[in-house]
Structure 1
Amino acid sequence: MWPWEHAIVGYLAYSFFCRLYYRESPDGLAAFAVVLASVGPDLIDKPLTWQFGVLESGYSIGHSLFFAVPFALVAGALARAAGRPRAGIAVGIGYLSHLPADVFYHYATGSPTRWELALWPVRRTPPEGQYGLVGHTTELLVAYGHRLLAGGASGYVRLQLAIAAGAFLVWLADGAPVLREILVGGRRLLARSHAGR
Structure 2
Amino acid sequence: MYPEGHFLLAAVPLTAYTVARRRRLPSGPMVLLLLVATQLPDVIDKPLAWTFAILPSGRMLAHSLVVSLPILSVLVLLAARRGYGRYAVVFSAGYLSHIAGDFYPIVRLGTDYYFFPNLFWPLLAANPDRTPSFAAHAPDSLLSLVVPLVVFGLAVSYSVVTVYRRHEQVLAVIPQR
Q: Scaled by the length of structure 2, what TM-score is found?
A: 0.70
Match of 2:141 among 139, 145, 156: 145
24 and 183 in structure 1: CA distance in 2 versus 1, 3 angstrom threshold: closer
| Cα distance in 2 between the residues matched to 1:179 and 1:114 | 42
Give the superposition deviation at 1:52.
1.9
List runs of 5+ in structure 2 lacking aligned partners: none
Structure 1 counterpart of 2:82: 82
Q: Which residue of 1 aligns with 2:163?
A: 181
Q: Could you tell me the percent identity over the aligned residues?
A: 25
Summarize the Cα distance change of 1:148–1:90 in structure 2 as closer, same or farther, 3 Å threshold: closer
Residues 50 and 58 in structure 1, CA contact (< 8 A), matched pair in contact too: yes
Q: CA RMSD in A?
A: 3.7
Amino acid at match of 1:126: P
CA distance in 2, matches of 1:86, 1:12: 17
SS for the counterpart of 1:9 is: helix
Work out whether residues 34 and 90 of structure 1, in 8 Å CA contact, stay in contact via their aligned partners in 2: yes
Q: 1:71, 1:16 → 2: CA distance?
A: 27
Structure 1 unaligned residues grouped into runs of 5+? 150-159
CA deviation profile, 1:129-155 (whole Å, cap 9, x unmatched): 875xxxx2x5533x3427959xxxxxx
Give 1:35 deviation, angstroms: 1.5
Alignment correspondent of 2:120: 119
Pairwise CA distance, 1:7: 1.4
Counting matched residue pairs gives 164
- 8 Å contact from structure 1 (residues 31, 90) kept in 2: no
Q: Which amino acid aligns with 2:119?
A: A
Moved over 6 A (4+): none
**Residue 155 (structure 1) aligns with:** none
Q: Is the 8 A contact 2:57 2:127 kept in 1?
A: yes
TM-score, normalised to structure 1, is 0.64
CA contact (8 A) 1:13 1:93 kept: no
Residue 49 of structure 1 contacts residue 128 of structure 1 at CA under 8 Å; is this kept in 2? no
Q: 1:8 & 1:144 partners in 2: Cα distance?
A: 22
Take 2:17 and 2:127, find their aligned partners in 1: how far apart are those partners?
32
1:61 corresponds to which residue? 61
1:54 CA displacement: 1.4
